[in-house]
Structure 1
Amino acid sequence: MNDTIKKVVVVGGGTAGWLSAALLKKVLGQTVELELVESESIGTVGVGEATIPPIRMLNNVLGLNEADVIRETKATIKLAIKFENWRVKGEGYFHTFGSPGRSYAFCHFHHFLNRARQQLGESSSIWDYDLNYLSAIEGRFAKMDVTDPILDMPFAYHFDASLYAKFLRKVAEQAGAVRTEGTIVDVTQHPGSGYIQGVRLANGREVTGDLFIDCSGFRGLLIQQQLNTGYIDWSHWLPCDRAIAIPSERHEHTLPYTRSIAHTAGWQWRIPLQHRNGNGHVYCSNYMSDDEALAVLKNNLDTAPLADPNFIKFKTGRRRKQWNKNVIAIGLSSGFLEPLESTSIHLIQSAIVRLLHLFPHQGINDSIMSEYNAQSALEFEQIRDFIILHYHVNERDDSQFWRDVRNMDVPERLRHKIDLFRQNGRLFNEHNDLFLDASWLQVMQGQGITPQDYHPMAKSIPQDKLIDMLKTIRKIKQDPVAQLPTHDEFLAKVCGN
């Protein structure tokens, strides 16, 4: 199909739909017409409330004022995720957005620390050299204007996803996006090419377009129900297939990090917002009934519930093609990876950015589609492997679930990465891997993988100078923390109360 793309139709609202509409109109402006079709009667999953740092760049591109975003979405700051009970019960570690220590060419900081721990009896951990961690455990935060990258403190947000979608709707409509209310009852296709021509609403109106963005959630109205694209099932690696979400009253002190608490057959999230807490239990129905899972969640709420539980069924995996004919699946319609590392909204963001890079202004062709699908597949697989790591490298022996995920075969790429780190502490990023070396380092060490060796460059420093270097870096990281306001003080100042 070589027709110029003049009109884009977004099917479905929520975060996926309105983020797609806002960013497409912001970047493409009046070169394309954009219409979003949604129905107030169709709810959204709406439990994705934690994000990762690239969302700040997205908000900047959209021209959003950060203070407005924090106020309008009831947002709090996220410096890290705390993983509790994942290696063994009763133990925890942090995956922060920061980088431990100081960067060195050819040799990561952790090699120097590993040498000091192995040879000199050093007892500090990598987190003692991480400003994000030190601030998180003290409950402190402020944006710091620094020139030395050693003091960078990357952050993201926890927010109410439904409020974020409403905020984005205003942005999209101000940029020229048109919203149409209606329930889709039929889809028309070109008899020759099979391309989608339009969607027919219950009131009889047909909305036509040249390119369709499917943001219809798990049902995949266009990408699956109409085009029968197919799905690659990853539940043999990530067997959790259920979630229960319950909001609860806000906690007295607002933590600047997400909590991920492993239970018998899955894990629980705790996400602090300004007006409430987000809570959920992700679990595997082969090992735990819905009633048992609900009891676990209710027994582990630290504040009173505010609503009835919301039960969600899912299957981990992805569409065989994220782009099929003239339909691009974005959000839950494109696939699902459990929200262990808060990647759901990021996958929406990256899918739209990828589309903008490859936008078929002069018409859709196979090379554009195949490149989009190849990049999408790689991104899903890289995030999948990082999530598998948390499950697979565990030492729990208190339930069959944890024994089974420990003993399962894992993707070869992940197996190689684990073996390489275990042997000599080396980490290598693949092309466009969302999770950088510092992330892999923290999860591997947190899950109990200790490198047997370290880089020879770490031997180049005399022992006394190595200890002095570690003390100096630790002090540089620790000194700013006491000067920071508490997280709640920061929020009160931003929100004017």
Structure 2
Amino acid sequence: MENKNKPVRRVVIAGGGTAGWMVAAGLSKSLGRLLDITLVESDEIGTVGVGEATIPSLQNFHHLLEINEQEFMAETMATFKLGISFENWRDVNEDYIHSFGTSGTDHWTAGFQHFWHKGRERGLATDYGDYCLELKASLQNRFAHLPKGGMNYAYHMDASRYAKYLRKFSERFGARRVEGKIAEVRMDPDGDIRALRLDSGAEIEGDLFIDCTGFRALLIGGALGVEYEDWSHWLFNDSALAVQTTSVREAVPYTRAIARDAGWQWQIPLQHRVGNGLVYSSRYTDDETSQRTLLAAVAGEPLMTPRVIRFQPGQRKETWKRNCVAVGLASGFLEPIESTSIHLIQRSIVRLLQLFPQDGISQADIDEFNTQANTEIAHIRDFIILHYKVTNRRDTPYWRDAAEMTVPASLQHRIDLFRATGRVFRIPNELFAENSWIQVMLGQGIHPASHHQSADLMGDAELAHFLDGIRGSIERTVAQLPSHQRYVEQYCAGTGW
């Protein structure tokens, strides 16, 4: 497809939910005066609606949209998130936290982990987590905004309220919502999508279509026939149960990810309730067993009947084809172990804005979009596979098979490099930075065999002073922080707290 020189003025978003309304918000705020933006959704079609945990990059999206944090948090009953507590992952009853912070201070030749490793050898260093502010604050359930962005954080939020909040935001900038079910995707003779026919008989024509129809992928998969790349040989889980419960204790500033016999359980504390779920593999367990496991493990009273969600881990081989861009679940799915779903939505939005085909859709833009999208999700995929591959658990068939599977060569290289040398190198533009890889690999039980020689240049007194200074500064800062619960109540309490 060469540039058709057909200006893109009418954008049609198929589907609402988090993905649809994030797209509407991003496009309307940035290009609303140049575009006619229509979002089609039906009140009768439910959304997955369990993407309630986020990562710090959502702040960037909100800054671009000039969204007020306190207003957003009150509207979505949000709390703060400093990381994820991984429980039973390294082995049964062995836990660690993957926080959003950085650990220690790097030298230009080598990361902090090398100096920490040397300190452990000499009996001068304590646990690696003691050198990370966000991790220590998590353990003590404390939080506050610090000067100069001194605390890295994300949010726990009510996903359905977030979609409603973004709908109001988008409509202020000219986006239009149309109620109705999509009955047919109408095509042009040349193979482009021409319009969406609704069950009412109305037709919504467009120049560019955004597929936010979830796992159904009515446009990118159904109408355009883009194939799906299956990653279930690496990521065994294909089912999830979700249930909301009443809050019975103060909200902690982290997500809990608790490994179970054939999957893992999430626990996400909001202001007004707790989001819970169990992600599992139907090859190793069944729905009834999983429901019993989940309900036996939740605290508080269930506010709904648990519902089963089926999914296939993987991605569309093309997320932009012809005049259709797939965003969210329609473009692919990775289980929410590292809360990356909303991040991938916003990255698609930013990428689309950067490559927006205002003067006509060109194959060069499409190819660049797809290359970036495929590379980005592959890096995240590897990081998620790491949690399963590197484990000491051998107590169930699920964990034995996960530990024994062959992983992508790109991931195996990272594991081998860290195990041998303690080194981690970030690939340009990938989501997870060096410290994320280090926290997870150390937490899962990889102990490097060696360290960088820069750490050998410090004598005991100098190294002890260096390590103690970092740890002491963090302890003093955390001691001055208020409790997370109290801070949220004062900063952004929503109605219904």
TM-score range, shorter chain: over 0.9
Residue 187 of structure 1 aligns with which residue? 185
User: 2:35 corresponds to which letter in structure 1?
Assistant: V
1: distance between equivalents of 2:178 and 2:250?
Answer: 41
Q: Confirm whether residue 107 of structure 1 aligns to residue 105 of structure 2.
A: no
Deviations along 1:157-216, one digit per CA (max 9) or x if unpaired, are 00000000000001100000011111111111111x200000111111110000000000
SS across alignment from 2:55:
coil
Mapped pair 1:156 → 2:154: yes
Divergent runs of 4+, >2 A: none
1:5-44 equivalences under 5 Å are 5-44=8-47
Say which SS state the counterpart of residue 90 (structure 2) adopts: coil
Structure 1 residue 227: Cα displacement: 0.7
- Does the 8 A contact of 2:86 with 2:258 survive in 1? yes
Query: Which residue, out of 277, 284, 297, partners 1:280?
Result: 277
In structure 2, what is the Cα distance between the partners aligned to 1:33 and 1:460? 63
Once the 2 structures are TM-superposed, how far is the Cα of residue 105 of structure 1 from its aligned partner?
1.2
Gapped runs of 5+ residues in structure 2? none
Aligned partners of 1:168 and 1:153: how far apart in 2? 26
Amino acid at match of 2:419: R
Q: How far apart, CA to CA, are the structure 2 residues paired with 1:14 and 1:393?
A: 35
How far is the alpha carbon of 1:123 from its aligned partner?
4.8
Does the CA-based 8 Å contact 2:125-2:464 persist in structure 1?
Answer: no
Aligned twin of 2:145: 143
Cα contact 1:251–1:272 (8 A) shared by 2: no
1:487 matched to 2:484 = yes
Counterpart mapping for 1:26-425 below 5 A: 26-118=29-121, 120-146=122-148, 152-191=150-189, 193-425=190-422
Q: Please report how far the alpha carbon of residue 130 of structure 1 lies from its aligned counterpart in structure 2 after TM superposition.
A: 0.5
Report the number of matched residues: 491
1:251 Cα deviation from its structure 2 partner: 3.0
Write the distance in 1 (CA, Å) between the matches of 2:34 and 2:206: 14
Helix, strand or coil for the counterpart of 1:232? strand
Q: What is the CA deviation profile of residues 308-356 of structure 1, one whole-angstrom value per residue up to 9, with x for unaligned ones?
A: 0011000000001000110000000000000000001111000010001
One-letter amino acid of the counterpart of residue 491, structure 1: V
State the AA in 2 paired with 1:164: Y
CA-CA distance at 1:478 after TM superposition: 1.1
For residues 9 and 368 of structure 1, the distance between their equivalents in structure 2, rounded to whole angstroms, comes to 19
Q: Deviations over 1:129-148 (max 9, x none)?
A: 110011111111000114xx
Q: Distance in 2 between matches of 1:65 and 1:78?
A: 18
What SS does the corresponding residue of 2:147 show, helix, strand or coil? coil
Q: Secondary structure at the match of 1:35?
A: strand
Shift of the alpha carbon at 1:459?
A: 1.1
User: Take 1:195 and 1:366, find their aligned partners in 2: how far apart are those partners?
Assistant: 13
- Structure 2 partner of 1:476: 473
SS of residue paired to 1:94: strand
Aligned AA (2:187): Q
TM-score, normalised with respect to structure 2: 0.98
Secondary structure at the counterpart of residue 85 of structure 1? strand
The answer to whether the 8 A contact 2:32-2:175 is kept is no
CA deviation profile, 1:89-145 (whole Å, cap 9, x unmatched): 001000000001113212111100101112x12351210011001111111100011
User: CA separation in 2, counterparts of 1:139 and 1:87?
Assistant: 23
Alpha-carbon distance in structure 2 between the residues aligned to 1:228 and 1:199: 16
Letter in 1 for 2:158: D
Is the partner of 2:72 in helix, strand or coil?
A: helix
Q: CA deviation at 1:361?
A: 1.0
How much is the aligned-residue C-alpha RMSD, in angstroms? 1.0
Structure 1: distance between partners of 2:106 and 2:114: 11
Letter in 1 for 2:445: G
Could you tell me the percent identity over the aligned residues? 48
Q: TM-score, normalised by structure 1?
A: 0.98
Q: Distance in 2 between matches of 1:477 and 1:104?
A: 19
Cα separation, 2, equivalents of 1:252 and 1:403: 35
Residues 82 and 93 in structure 1, CA contact (< 8 A), matched pair in contact too: yes
* Contact 2:15–2:40 (8 Å) recurs in 1: yes
Distance in 1, matches of 2:154 and 2:316, equals: 28
- Aligned amino acid, residue 385 of structure 1: D
In the alignment, the residues of structure 1 paired with residue 278 and residue 343 of structure 2 have an alpha-carbon distance, to the nearest angstrom, of 21
Deviations 1:57-109 (A, max 9, x none): 11111111100011000000000100000010001000000001113212111
Structure 1 Cα separation of the partners of residues 467 and 249 of structure 2:
36
